[in-house]
Structure 1
């Protein structure tokens, strides 16, 4: 790809800025937010206030607006599915600023449905499954090959943190020289506490993707950028603004959440060795193990919506323009739906969870996330016999108020 050498990616102006260090500030370091969430749910399905400051984080997104915390399962489902009253325009104040107002996460119908059709066409299960062998498996082999002979590893730092991002680099067919800067900019886009850095990241990624899209349209390949640029539905092609917004968001929507979900899954299995051994004995249990991890401690605990009109929810008046923190984690641990909900149990009766949202904005990349988590778990079972927590290292702790993940998972394997 000789022509690609002309495409320049620009790092942050401040070389000392570390976007990876901002995770706790933006998303919290709470060890267990679920007791507080349960207390809210016991109190009322709709609570006046904003989730972030109630969890000890920085101020609410738009403090001049009314804020409500939604913790009742029925009310959560209503807010996520009733698009006539509750809008994704709430994301225009954060995601829309850095990913671009062309992000489908900020849109409502009819625009959302029109452009989502193209993304759905590319991310259908029959297409995504082919990436498992051609893209996902080689990434797994490369990463595991670096620690297999050692007999011990930090599965977060050496595997799950890198794994989904490496998949995205290969899907986009990025030059290896761009990868480190690309990841720094992509992560920095959601550092809303350092707002000027988030803006800078969005601008620089936008310029990079504009040149990359032009190059792939002129010389298309079988990479994801080419597919997105050249795929149409009903005669519609993605406008450049929407395509570039999606590419800006891909690293966070597909990479960050998959890293968190896979990390939680492996942590939960290591804390429940009987269930890990059950998977070794019966690989058909893998799908329900993945769904249970997503239910039990999904990577995104809170989703955001805006009231489009004066309305009521559970008898509470919701003024037009109010912001609603929709706590998916509350529904996922509702004891009325899931007996003993705080327990990780891959054998429980499967019921749909809320971790990929509901309604028209249900995650378009959910099939790819499941493929990546499935392939990762197969690789662990295939190549890490006798996997167990490292007794000489601290135990893993899943942390976060908004986005959940363990930062380390020290393990030993082999005899």
Structure 2
């Protein structure tokens, strides 16, 4: 295998900083605490963070929804539970995005964004981009007979897919992988995140100007020309989309695929079942996202007095929703803490729900499908490395295994 370049090493160091800042402390898990909280009530004051429940007492009161039904109710009612709170949190880092938009503006701009994720484009990406990229990446591993799949497959592929969809030159990808991680790690180091944001914007201004002059077959060119009811996206909005997609789309897909691989590799009977019958892969992907949701918490602003889960929530409060807890709700799934691709199929809430449901979920599923088919096809008898330390899943906000050491025949 080729030696790491300096930029690749910078990406690894950025990821380590990010994980440390997000409370990734060994194999510590939030799920025992979340199970206790769900058993007590569906909604609690405060929020779960770093293994404890807290509320600073500064600013508006905070509440957290923990059950499937209450989390879904928050996502469903985007009038009472508004995303406008993200204007103060996200806009300084990413510029204006549809995440913070309200109706009817949000519905209009979501249609504009959907041009970038059209089904015709997805089919083309499958054949021309994602499939070939995944196959090349995995085939380079074949002769090595051992690897850390997080480092060699699950972390690099999603960011390369996003970068290609945005039309970024391949030589620039490692630098932007690092910037994406630094941007997403704003909770741990806001100054570093703001520097990353400024650097990305400066670069994306030139990329967008180039696409407007010479449109190509990529997302930025499509968005630059998209129009709904006479409305087009401004340069600021397109650059906001670019700064949002690179960290969000790449980071969550990298984590969800790594966690699914962990689930399969630590359950060899299920691994063999999927390897021998690829029609089981879609349900395995959904179970992986349910079992280890890559990003546990989202937030909303409460716009009017309401009641949720029997709790009075005042207007102006911050409403946190814990997707990880919702996806482990015992009233919806039997033995929810267990990884089981054969369980009764019920929809999870790992991609959110309602008007703000994840735009990139079909792309994420496509990438996962391609990655696991390539691993099964090209790395015979793929299994955990018996000579490496046992893998584990880490994180209190973002969750995934830091590494997955494997061998094959």
TM-score normalised to structure 1 length: 0.91
Q: Secondary structure at the match of 2:197?
A: helix
| 1:32 is the counterpart of 2:26 | no
Q: Secondary structure at the match of 2:44?
A: strand
- 1:50 is aligned to 47
Q: Secondary structure at the match of 2:241?
A: helix
Which of 189, 194, 201 is residue 199 of structure 1 equivalent to?
194
Which of 388, 392, 407 is residue 387 of structure 2 equivalent to?
392
Distance in 1 (alpha carbons) for counterparts of 2:311 and 2:209: 50
Task: Tell whether the 8 Å contact from 2:255 to 2:400 is kept in structure 1 after alignment.
Answer: yes
- 1:213 is aligned to 208
Aligned residues: 398
CA pair 321-140 structure 1, distance change in 2 beyond 3 A: same
Distance in 2 (alpha carbons) for counterparts of 1:162 and 1:314: 41
- 2:358 is aligned to 363
- 1:112 is aligned to 106
RMSD, aligned CA: 2.1
Distance in 1 (alpha carbons) for counterparts of 2:137 and 2:144: 13
Task: Tell whether the 8 Å contact from 1:52 to 1:60 is kept in structure 2 after alignment.
Answer: no
Moved more, 186-195 or 362-371: 186-195
Distance in 1 (alpha carbons) for counterparts of 2:180 and 2:57: 23
Q: Secondary structure at the match of 1:367?
A: helix
Alignment of 1:262-273 (within 5 A): 262-273=257-268
Distance in 2 (alpha carbons) for counterparts of 1:62 and 1:239: 39
Which of 260, 275, 286 is residue 291 of structure 1 equivalent to?
286
Which of 175, 182, 185 is residue 176 of structure 2 equivalent to?
182
- 1:379 is aligned to 374
Q: What whole-Å deviation, never above 9, does each CA across 1:98-138 have from its counterpart, x for those lacking one?
A: 011x1111222112111110222331334213211211122
| 1:41 is the counterpart of 2:38 | yes
Task: Tell whether the 8 Å contact from 2:22 to 2:185 is kept in structure 1 after alignment.
Answer: no
- 2:269 is aligned to 274
Q: Secondary structure at the match of 2:24?
A: coil
Which of 136, 139, 143 is residue 142 of structure 1 equivalent to?
136
Task: Tell whether the 8 Å contact from 2:147 to 2:406 is kept in structure 1 after alignment.
Answer: yes
Task: Tell whether the 8 Å contact from 2:330 to 2:336 is kept in structure 1 after alignment.
Answer: yes
- 2:16 is aligned to 21
Task: Tell whether the 8 Å contact from 2:31 to 2:325 is kept in structure 1 after alignment.
Answer: yes
Task: Tell whether the 8 Å contact from 1:50 to 1:325 is kept in structure 2 after alignment.
Answer: yes
Q: What whole-Å deviation, never above 9, does each CA across 1:28-59 have from its counterpart, x for those lacking one?
A: 21532111101000011111112226548xx8
Q: What whole-Å deviation, never above 9, does each CA across 1:279-299 have from its counterpart, x for those lacking one?
A: 122111111010010111111
Q: Secondary structure at the match of 2:84?
A: helix
- 2:3 is aligned to none
Q: Secondary structure at the match of 1:293?
A: helix
Distance in 2 (alpha carbons) for counterparts of 1:22 and 1:89: 29
CA pair 107-363 structure 1, distance change in 2 beyond 3 A: same
Q: What whole-Å deviation, never above 9, does each CA across 1:47-83 have from its counterpart, x for those lacking one?
A: 1112226548xx8799422111211222111111111
Which of 136, 159, 164 is residue 153 of structure 2 equivalent to?
159
| 1:132 is the counterpart of 2:129 | no
| 1:77 is the counterpart of 2:102 | no
Distance in 2 (alpha carbons) for counterparts of 1:387 and 1:239: 47
Shift of 1:17: 12
Shift of 1:16: 12
Shift of 1:312: 2.1
Q: Secondary structure at the match of 2:370?
A: helix
Moved more, 131-140 or 234-243: 234-243
Task: Tell whether the 8 Å contact from 2:11 to 2:177 is kept in structure 1 after alignment.
Answer: no
CA pair 93-21 structure 1, distance change in 2 beyond 3 A: farther
Task: Tell whether the 8 Å contact from 1:190 to 1:198 is kept in structure 2 after alignment.
Answer: yes
| 1:243 is the counterpart of 2:238 | yes
Shift of 1:267: 0.8
CA pair 274-358 structure 1, distance change in 2 beyond 3 A: same
Distance in 1 (alpha carbons) for counterparts of 2:153 and 2:240: 28
CA pair 372-62 structure 1, distance change in 2 beyond 3 A: farther
- 2:336 is aligned to 341
Distance in 2 (alpha carbons) for counterparts of 1:16 and 1:289: 29
TM-score normalised to structure 2 length: 0.92
The answer for unaligned runs of 5 or more in structure 2 is 1-6
Q: Secondary structure at the match of 1:356?
A: coil
Shift of 1:229: 1.1
- 1:230 is aligned to 225
CA pair 54-145 structure 1, distance change in 2 beyond 3 A: closer
Q: What whole-Å deviation, never above 9, does each CA across 1:231-276 have from its counterpart, x for those lacking one?
A: 2233322122211111001112210000001101111100111111
Q: Secondary structure at the match of 1:51?
A: strand
